[in-house]
A and B are shown apart, each in its own frame.
Chain A
Amino acid sequence: MGKRTPLYDTHVASGAKIVDFGGWDMPVAYGSQIEEHHAVRRDAGMFDVSHMCPVDVTGADARIFLKRLVANNVDKLTQSGKALYACMLNHAGGVIDDLIIYFLRDDWFRVVVNASTADKDLAWMEKVRLDDGFAVTIKPRRDLAMIAVQGPNARAKFWQVRPATKVATEGLGAFFAAEVGELFVARTGYTGEDGFEVMLPTGRAAQLWTDLKAAGVAEAGLGARDTLRLEAGMNLYGNDMDEAISPLDAGLAWTVDLKSPRDFVGRAALERDGARLALVGLKLLDKGVLRAHQKVVTPAGDGEITSGTFSPTLGFSVAMARVPREVKLGDTVQVDIRGKLLPAQVVKMPFVRNGKALI
């Protein structure tokens, strides 16, 4: 038996198929994964993301600690509630995890890390704290559950069931969060659609889930979450980058701040190595399905698919692939699918955003 979120029984009662995900028993789908995907693109769906771990970083050195800890620069966060996507690197420049950092006060930031990496992330954060003697406290918040409500009608449906939150959250811009009583409401997500990610005490999660379901929000599992994030061109830790991969080789250069003189962990390695490979979008031009680890054949050398799937929105297969930097947008490459070479085109990501096909 794996670890279970406060919503586990709710998922089972809804008929979810449960799978192991990084040591957690999580719902992969409640029925048709494709229908769940469409519900998020067209209306509203919700995901239990309570396996992810919020970590509160508090204390006088909170900001300078995070400036050392991650490759993006938390000095970009000046307004309370603003969020930043960042990678936490090891000294070799590999990605220990990708995370979201919410700035609340100068002595309080909330960091949300991935489920399967949470333990090593916390150990690493403690190590970086001790190495330089930062005056911060690092506290995992396992007392919080998290529900992502996503889709064009997600916010409206959330306000319908929690009307008292509307005043405080209707003015939230993208990538902003607000505390509203015992709820922490963030206009963030992992689907390419509008919506909220809501943190709340674990004991309150099932009621919010049930209320949202009654308001017509579709239950959606990890399967739909993966096809949605891939269409949205968002990286998945463990697939598209890991401890052996630099963010510069994972399409994440935009999250690395080398302009400021700040000495973050991994900076020296990134400056020494530079970008060696490119992460590109692929569209399969034939029938079939692109999958992680399939070989990509290009005139400049071989690459590899890091994430691939059938896109329910587009009706064909798309993928992210790590390839030689000479490979350019519009090029046709070959993908080895069970011994057959099939043509795929290099396209710009995201593939889909806010319900619209972009390729």
Chain B
Amino acid sequence: MNIPSNLKYTASHEWAKVGSDGLLWIGITDAAQDMLGDLVYVGDFKVGAKLKAGETAGVVESVKAASDVYAPVDGEVAAFNDSLGSEPQQLNSAPYDAWIFKLKTSASIDGLLDAKAYEANVAASK
């Protein structure tokens, strides 16, 4: 299972990092894409939506199942990765390269899980 040490994580299988544009980039983890299987739809993200930590930002759907994607911290949705609309399988092939949405936030991500804690979380959920 690929869990890069330079990212922060949530128990609901999002990864997050502060990008070069100062926004918080958020995607789903390798473990998430592995559990879901082939992704076929990514959507419902609303640019401009103000979200509290833990609120639903949008959805990813595989052939098997639909899974909500949550805001890891309070913030405003600043961007959605449109290329995922036509090529959702990027989330299977390179989950850490394909951010799904960006949050404009002043909240700290220090409270999210580090790689080690996330790995323990994944192991415990198996």
Chain A interface residues (CB < 8 Å from chain B) = 28-29, 32-34, 223, 227, 287-289, 291, 309-310, 312, 338, 340
B residues with CB within 8 A of A: 37-38, 40-41, 43-44, 59, 61, 63-64, 66, 85, 92
Residue of B37, B41, B44 touching A223 (CB-CB under 8 A): B37
- Could you jot down 12 A-B contacts, CB within 8 Å? A32-B38, A32-B92, A33-B38, A33-B64, A223-B37, A287-B41, A287-B85, A288-B43, A309-B63, A310-B61, A338-B44, A340-B44
* A223 B61 Cβ-Cβ under 8 A: no
Nearest-neighbour CB distance to chain B for A239, whole angstroms, equals: 14
**CB–CB B63/A33 < 8 A:** yes
Residues from chain A with Cβ under 8 Å of B64 in the complex: 28, 33, 223
What is the distance, in angstroms, from A38's C-beta to the closest C-beta of chain B? 11
Q: When the two chains form their complex, are residues B63 and A287 in contact, meaning their CB atoms are under 8 A apart?
A: no
Alpha-carbon separation in the docked complex, A227 to B64 (Å): 9
Q: How far is the CA of A310 from the CA of B40 in the complex (A)?
A: 7
Interface of A is mostly: mixed
Query: Are A291 and B38 interface neighbours, CB within 8 A?
Result: no
B37 partner residues in chain A, CB cutoff 8 A: 28-29, 32-33, 223
| Chain B proximity of A286: nearest CB distance (Å) | 10
Contact among A28, A223, A289, A340 for B66, CB-based, below 8 A: A289
Chain B residue numbers with a CB within 8 Å of A29 are 37
Q: Which of B40, B44, B59, B61 counts the most chain A CB atoms within 10 A?
A: B40
Determine the chain B residues whose CB is within 8 A of the CB of A227 once the complex forms: 63
Query: Given the complex of chains A and B, what is the CA–CA distance between A223 and B38 in angstroms?
Result: 10
**Which residues of chain B are near A223, meaning CB under 8 Å?**
37, 63-64
Which residues of B have CB within 8 Å of A287? 41, 43, 85
Interface centre among B40, B59, B63 (most CB of A within 10 A): B63
Set of chain A residues within 8 Å of B43, measured between Cβ atoms: 287-288
Distance between A149 CB and nearest chain B CB, rounded to angstroms: 22
State how many angstroms separate the Cβ of A43 from the closest Cβ of chain B.
18
Is B41 in contact with A289, judged by CB distance below 8 angstroms? Answer: yes
With the chains together, A287 CA to B41 CA distance in Å? 7
Q: How far is the CA of A310 from the CA of B92 in the complex (A)?
A: 16
Residues on B with beta carbons closer than 8 Å to the beta carbon of A340 = 44
- A289→B92 CA distance, assembly (Å): 18
